[in-house]
Structure 1
Amino acid sequence: MLNLKLITPEIEKLSFKIDKGAGEKARIGLLVLESDQSLEWEMRQITNIPGVSIYHSRLENDPIVTGENLAMMEKQLPVAAKLLPQYLNLNSIGYGCTSASTIIGEEKVSKILNNFHPGIPTSNPLTAAKAAFEVLNVHKIALLTPYSPDVTLAIQKKFNESGISVELIGSYFEENDEIVGKIDEESILQAVIKLGLNEKCDGVFISCTSLRAINIIEKAEKVIGKPITSSNHALAWHLLRLAGINDFQNGYGELFKR
């Protein structure tokens, strides 16, 4: 019998250098719902800027959007926030849920994130939308949501309390987040145009990170002649600005020129 001996080459030790790693200009942390199909996809498009990196963490949630289920996410926020490594030295962190930020409270969400990442600027879609409308000088809005009336009215109340008057509302009345993520862009475009053409409003907010809207915003703005933003659109803009990235970007409407 032949004695076949395996010949192993000597492993050469190679030299290397290190740099600042991915995200040398900005590193942004993002907490994404387990049921969300759209936020990461839209965020990647908008933040496709050299030197900017996005780091995601998912958190458990019930896909049926009710006030009770949204409130339960408060317990999951620390779990997801802890999974974003502190050594990354993130420049901003966002929680990707408009309705839960409304129910839990924007300040409470920010406090939970800062418990694990002290001193880092935080945002969520509701806070981001308010900041967006401030720079856009919009004070009266049309609100488009997929939610049940109780959740929609909770969001309306938060806007009204901040000095942004919700003048008209449209909703798909769909509680299942898994279905909301599949509402097509044409349906969203037509809804935005229908609401936005009303003379009562001077801007439109598309609420819910599951609604795919970033690719129809500029088109709709040209039709209605008013600024439009969405949960993902506003959150991406706000997180970039908080991280010190002030690049103007074409194709995403008036907000990204500010």
Structure 2
Amino acid sequence: MTDILGWRRKFGVLGPSTNTVVQPDFEMMRPPGVTNHYSRIYTPNAKAVSNETFMAGMLRIGDNTLDAVHSVMTCEPHYLVMGMSAVTFYGGAAGADAFRQKVEAAAGVGISIGSHACTAALRAYGGVRRIAFLSPYFPACNDEVRRYFTESGFEVARDLCLQCPSWIAIAEVPPDLLREKLIELNGAGDVDAIVQVGTNLSMVRLAAAAEMWLGKPVIAINTATYWHALRANGIEDKVQGIGRLLEEF
């Protein structure tokens, strides 16, 4: 028997309980026959006022992930999609691999995570070597993101972190500020691509627009992660209006 609505794939989506952006973003990209089943990782809305408090909160989310995995697996999804990004960059390339392996061992199915999805997206565009990235994080977490991309073969020319004061505040960052940060990251046009990390930062549509006026790949992590999950499951549908990644690759 086949699920009536998820006849192609049922995706279990893992995201922090404070996150209000991933769920609607993934629904916007969902093709017919694919269903998303959100499992919230318990996350107090901690105030992040320093490198130490941000990193402690991020690691707590990582520690609570497997509870959300066990919960969502009761609906027997075919595949998992990680809707939280910071923990997937922690520990560089080896840390990302270890995180993926831990979740897959617990779930018995595959998972797409933000770090791996972003590097796959950069390679899909082709010709990308030098990048810049934007996050809602604190500097210590940006260091982990930089380490991951560097170990994955990319040169990080510059990065910016918004230092959002709480998990919920990430979803409150206005587009005007994000547009300014993208322009700043582009600098003199000396980067091949710009990446946005932090899944509660609403950037899917802005990144798609920025690709047109910057003339280069601008990758929102939610777009990259869902694209990666679709393609990993043999679903090649092209989704229009949310950037070149889903339209072309």
TM-score (norm 1): 0.86
| CA–CA separation in structure 2 for the residues paired with 1:175 and 1:184 | 14
Correspondence for 1:224: 214
Which residue number corresponds to residue 178 of structure 2?
188
Q: Which runs of 5+ in 1 are unaligned?
A: 1-17
Provide structure 2 residue ranges, at least 5 long, that are not aligned to the other structure.
49-53
Residue pair 1:193, 1:220 contacting (<8 A) in 2 also: no
1:160-212 alpha-carbon deviations (Å, 9 max, x no partner): 11001111112212241111111122322232233235322110101100110
Answer whether contact 1:159 1:166 (CA < 8 A) is retained: yes
Q: Is the 8 A contact 2:42 2:64 kept in 1?
A: yes
After superposition, residues 93-132 of structure 1 pair within 5 angstroms as: 93-103=80-90, 105-118=95-108, 120-132=109-121
Bigger Cα displacement from structure 2, 72-81 vs 139-148? 72-81
Correspondence for 2:163:
173
User: Displacement of 1:143 after TM fit?
Assistant: 0.6
Which residue pairs with 1:32 in the alignment?
A: 15
| Equivalent in the alignment of 2:193 | 203
Measured in 1, the distance between the counterparts of 2:140 and 2:165 equals 11
What whole-Å deviation, never above 9, does each CA across 1:107-131 have from its counterpart, x for those lacking one? Answer: 232223222322x221211111011
Higher helix share: 2
Q: Percent identity?
A: 21
Q: Which has the larger radius of gyration?
A: 1
Tell me the secondary structure at the aligned position of residue 76 of structure 1.
helix
2:239 matched to 1:249?
yes
The one-letter amino acid paired with 2:96 is E
CA drift at 1:89: 4.3
* Large movers: runs of 4+ above 4 Å: none
The answer on whether the counterparts of 2:111 and 2:229 sit within 8 Å (CA) in structure 1 is yes
CA contact (8 A) 1:102 1:155 kept: yes
Give the number of equivalent residue pairs.
238
SS at the partner of 1:181? helix
* RMSD of aligned residue pairs (Cα, Å): 1.8
Judged with a 3 Å threshold, the aligned counterparts in structure 2 of structure 1 residues 168 and 77 are, in CA distance, closer, same or farther, namely: same
**1:253/1:244 Cα in 2 relative to 1: closer, same or farther (>3 Å)?**
same
What is the Cα deviation at residue 86 of structure 1? 5.1
Task: Identify if the C-alpha distance between structure 1 residues 192 and 81 changes in structure 2 by more than 3 Å, giving closer, same or farther.
Answer: same
